[in-house]
Homo-oligomer: A and B are copies of this chain.
């Protein structure tokens, strides 16, 4: 993995507790690959040949049902490890990852994983924490889907997006990659029509400002109230 600023990578949670020398050893086996906007990084059910760390850009991870419906599992933000299907004991990827903007990732062959983990036990510990926190997120989402109605689910989704990919601008916190009504619908288990109606209503109230594949949160606090309040 030539010509890459290691100081950035060294601070990632995945490499916490890893000595600089060991880090070099780990990075030596990786290559960096660019993905153009719209390109797929890996496909659902494809053999899990590699695992990755995102350096730049944003990915959408989604699952497709047998009858063609899509569900957005999550968005990957820089610094995150992803595609670790092999480490989780699977032979294939459980979902598809797509670059929503031009992106750059470190890529290791899955075959390197057992060796790396054996040599650098911190990796295993950090991976447990990473996967564990994703499990929490997934459970949170199950709880939301079970108990909240659509408007609040959308509010929660937007707040989450703002936290992990929000960029402060003059019109509030803007989600830093193109995202459509359809995408939000696939994150919250509803339809683009309903999302559109909700965003229109929020726009009238001055809560958000949005357009074609673009959402900014003007009033995060009010949105938060709306997300938490049983019926507000």
Closest chain-B Cβ to A224's Cβ sits at a distance in Å of: 14
Q: Does A1 contact B (CB under 8 A)?
A: no
List residues 79-132 of chain A with CB under 8 A from any CB of chain B: 84, 87-90, 94-95, 117-118, 121, 124-125, 127-129, 131-132
A138 at the interface (CB under 8 A from B): yes
Contacts of A147 in B (CB 8 A): 65, 69, 71, 189
A120: min CB distance to chain B, Å = 10
**Residues on the B chain within 8 Å of A90, using CB:** 132, 136
B133–A135 touching, CB < 8 Å? no
Asked, given contacts A121-B118, A125-B124, A230-B67, whether A135 binds B142 with beta carbons under 8 Å apart, the answer is no
Q: Please name all residues of chain B whose beta carbon is closer than 8 Å to the beta carbon of A94 when the two chains form the complex.
A: 136, 139
Q: Are A128 and B139 in contact (CB under 8 A)?
A: no
Q: Quick check: A71 and B143 within 8 Å, CB to CB?
A: yes
- Chain B residues contacting A189 (CB-CB under 8 Å) are 142, 145-147
A142 — which chain B residues lie within 8 A by C-beta? 71, 73, 138, 141-142, 145, 189
B87 touches A139 (CB 8 A): no
Q: For the complex, what is the distance from the CA of A99 to the CA of B38, rounded to whole Å?
A: 48
Provide the A199-212 mask, 1 if CB < 8 A to any CB of B, else 0. Answer: 00000000000000
Q: A143 to B74, alpha carbons, bound, how many Å?
A: 12
| Closest residue on chain B to residue A143 by CB atoms | B71
Closest beta carbon of chain B to A146's beta carbon, Å: 4
With a 10 A CB-CB cut-off, give which of A65, A89, A90 has the most chain B CB atoms. Answer: A89
Chain B residue, CB-CB nearest to A124: B124
Please encode chain A, from 135 to 155, with 1 for each CB lying within 8 Å of some chain B CB and 0 for all others.
Answer: 110110111011100000000
Query: How far, in whole Å, are A90 and B133 apart by their CA atoms in the complex?
Result: 9
Question: Bound complex: CA of A125 vs CA of B124, how far in Å?
Answer: 7
For residue A141, which residue of chain B has the nearest CB?
B142
Instruction: Provide the bound-state CA to CA distance between A211 and B40, in Å.
Output: 49
Say if the beta carbon of A160 comes within 8 Å of chain B. no
Contacts known (A71-B142, A124-B121, A146-B145); A132 close to B131, Cβ less than 8 A: yes
11 contacts between A and B (CB under 8 A): A87-B132, A88-B133, A89-B129, A121-B121, A131-B132, A135-B135, A135-B138, A138-B142, A141-B142, A142-B142, A146-B189
